[in-house]
Structure formats: C-alpha cells, structure tokens
Structure 1
Amino acid sequence: MKIPLPYQDKDDQWLLQNYLNSGDNEWLGHLLQRYTTILFGVCMKYLKDEVEAKDAVQQIFLKVINEVKKYKVDYFKSWLYMIAKNYCLMQLRASKKTTYPITDQFTADDELANKNNIIQKEQSLQLLEKALQQLNEEQQVCVTLFYLQKKSYQQIIEATNYSAMQVKSNIQNGKRNLKIIMQRLGNHE
C-alpha cells in the first residue's frame, strides 16, 4: 500500500503532529508505513528469522502506538529504530537459555560461580538499558549507534542528519551522563 499522494511530500514530524493533535491512528499508520521495510530489516538483522521478524514488526507497531504519546519525539525515524532494536534485544535475551557443559571437573562451585556471573551480567545489562532510556533522545541515539552498533561518526551523521559536532558532543555527553545515571541507579538498587 502506498502513502496517498497528499502525504508523500509531508515530513515525519508533520504526520506525527497531526496524529498527536487528532488522536487519529490513520496519521500514525501513514508514518509507520514509511518504515515497515526498514523495521523488517532491523528485526531480521537481530532475530535472523523471517516469521519472528514479521511478528516483531507488528509488536513494535503496537508498542509505538502505546508509547509515542509519552515522549517528545523530535526524530521519529531514530526513535523508531531505538524502539525496534530494544524490542529485538529483549526478545533475544528472553529466548536465550543457559546451558552448561557436562564434564568430570564441573562442580557445584563452578556452576554457582557461572550462575552468579550470568546474573551479574544480566543486572548490568538491565541497569545499562534503564540508564540509556534516561538520556535525551539525541544522546541515546548517538551512544547506541556508536558504542552498541559500532557505527563510525560518518555513519551516525548520515543516519541522523546531525552535524559532526552534534554527534561528537552527543556521544561525549551521553557517555558521561550514562555513567552518572548508572552510578545513581546502582546506588538505589
């Protein structure tokens, strides 16, 4: 299905604002339609399964409908990408099962140490995820693209349309703020 001609020349912010003002899901539908293929590609990248990726796209659409009114979204495409990536990572994390090799040397102490290690890593990942959510959108996008997806400054500039100085600043400030937030969250848990 193609976006009706009157909306093809409208930018994401215009469609999003119409949705927020009217509450009519049709506006959001036009906006999401633009990114269906990209979302499917992102989901395939992480989930590596066509059926799971298609299901994920549908779940992400529902998540967007429920979440978009809660946040000030300046760059819809970047925000949508973050939602999709986080959803896929949560799916992967939920589907992983820990297996232990069976050997003669494998003792209960080793198993306990392994479990504690896994629990500690999981807690750190959850803390990082919470902290990332608390960064402003620009910092969140740049930090995720640079550190988690290993994108270069140039690739981030192209993906976000930020200037080189904005990307550098968002990465530096985001890293510093992330550390502060994680320390604060770590002290409260």
Structure 2
Amino acid sequence: MDTNRYRHINDGELLEKFYETKDNQWLGMLFQRYTLLLLGVCMKYLKNEEEARDCVQQVFLKAITELHKYEVEYFKSWLYTIARNHCLMRLRDRQGKIPRELNESLPVAAEEIDTKGLEEKENLFDNIELALEELNEDQKTCVTLFYLQKKSYQQIVDTTNYTLLQVKSHIQNGKRNLKLLVEKKLKKV
C-alpha cells in the first residue's frame, strides 16, 4: 500500500478504515506518521536510543493488540499515553519503583486522562511535525529515513549518496535542531 497516496487522510479516517476492514496496513500508516514522535517520547524518559527504539516497537505491538479490542477516538494522544506509560513501567522495572512525581501523574485507565493534558500532548506532537518540516532538506531526509523508515546508516548512504560522515552529521544535527525548533514553538504557546 502506497502510504504517500493516503497522506491527505487524517488519523480518524485511517482508524475508521482499519475498524471497517481490520487490515493492519491502515495502522501501519498511522504508526509511520508517529514513529519519530514516539522515539522522542521514549528518549525523553529512557535516555538511551537503543532502548527507546525497542520501546517504540513494543508500543506499536501493544497498540495493535489494543486497537483490535476497542475503538480509540484520539489516536495521537492515546498512542502518546501508551508510550509514556510503557516507558514509566520500564523505568520502574529498572529502578524497582517509579519516581513519586511520575507515579502520581500516571493515568491508570484511558478514562482518567484529563482532556487538557491530551490537548497539550497533541500540541507537542503537532509542533514536532511542524518542526520536522522546518529542518533543512538534508537533515529532514536523513532523520526521516533513519527514524521513520528505520533505514541503517549504510542504507541512507546508498539512497542519498551522502557519505557516512554526512549521514551521521545530518542525523545528529537534525535531532538537535528538531529539539530546538520544538522548544521554540512551545515557548510561543
């Protein structure tokens, strides 16, 4: 399925198509939209890129299972909450407990999530998406290929004809610039 062909379809419509057909390809398109954003969330909590990448995959697996059981209205916020809770649980397992301030804010069930918090999280996701579009073309290309399309450094070199050093530099600088752009956008809010 050509994901670019469905770029204009919003999350709700993709979810509707999934619920109608039970075809996981519709979910795949949704997951592709949010891979980089989830990686950022997982990196924020876990501070380890390899562990964060692993968490993103586990979050997607959990999301697939959950979406087959019940319908979700606000996909982006729901997915963010799953990722956040997964990271917090991993931190708890690693440290033996969740830090008190994080534990107090951990929603137990989807019904307990406050709407204002969801709006703020959606705003963060939107700002990350906008910031990605503001990166220079080299950084945007490398960051997208590496995080969203899961390409290795060598695959990116082969695809773009950049050198390995350029690819690593574009990814590193792209991540840094993405963070700065998002922080700048959040300060305006």
Please confirm whether the aligned pair reaches a TM-score higher than 0.5, indicating the same fold: yes
- For 1:108, the equivalent position in structure 2 comes to none
The answer (yes or no) to whether the contact 2:37–2:125 under 8 Å persists in 1 is no
- For 1:68, the equivalent position in structure 2 comes to 67
Structure 1 residue 63, shift from structure 2 partner: 0.4
Change (3 A) 1:157 1:37: closer
AA at the equivalent of 1:57:
V
**Distance between the aligned counterparts of 2:123 and 2:90, measured in 1?**
28
**Distance between the aligned counterparts of 2:55 and 2:29, measured in 1?**
19
User: Which residues of structure 2 form unaligned runs of 5+?
Assistant: 127-189
CA deviations over 1:44-91 (Å, ceiling 9, x no partner): 000000110010000000000001233432211111111110110110
Mapping of 1:1-189 within 5 angstroms? 4-97=3-96, 125=103, 129-130=107-108, 132-135=109-112, 139=114, 141-143=115-117, 155=120, 158-159=123-124
AA at the equivalent of 2:81:
M
Structure 1 residue 21, shift from structure 2 partner: 1.1
Change (3 A) 1:56 1:11: same
Structure 1 residue 160, shift from structure 2 partner: 8.4
Question: CA RMSD, aligned part only?
Answer: 3.3
**Distance between the aligned counterparts of 1:95 and 1:76, measured in 2?**
28
Change (3 A) 1:7 1:70: same
Change (3 A) 1:9 1:157: closer
Give identity over the alignment, percent.
45
**TM-score (normalizing by structure 1):** 0.56
User: Which residues of structure 1 form unaligned runs of 5+?
Assistant: 99-117, 146-154, 162-189
Instruction: Compare CA radii of gyration and give the structure with the larger one.
Output: 1
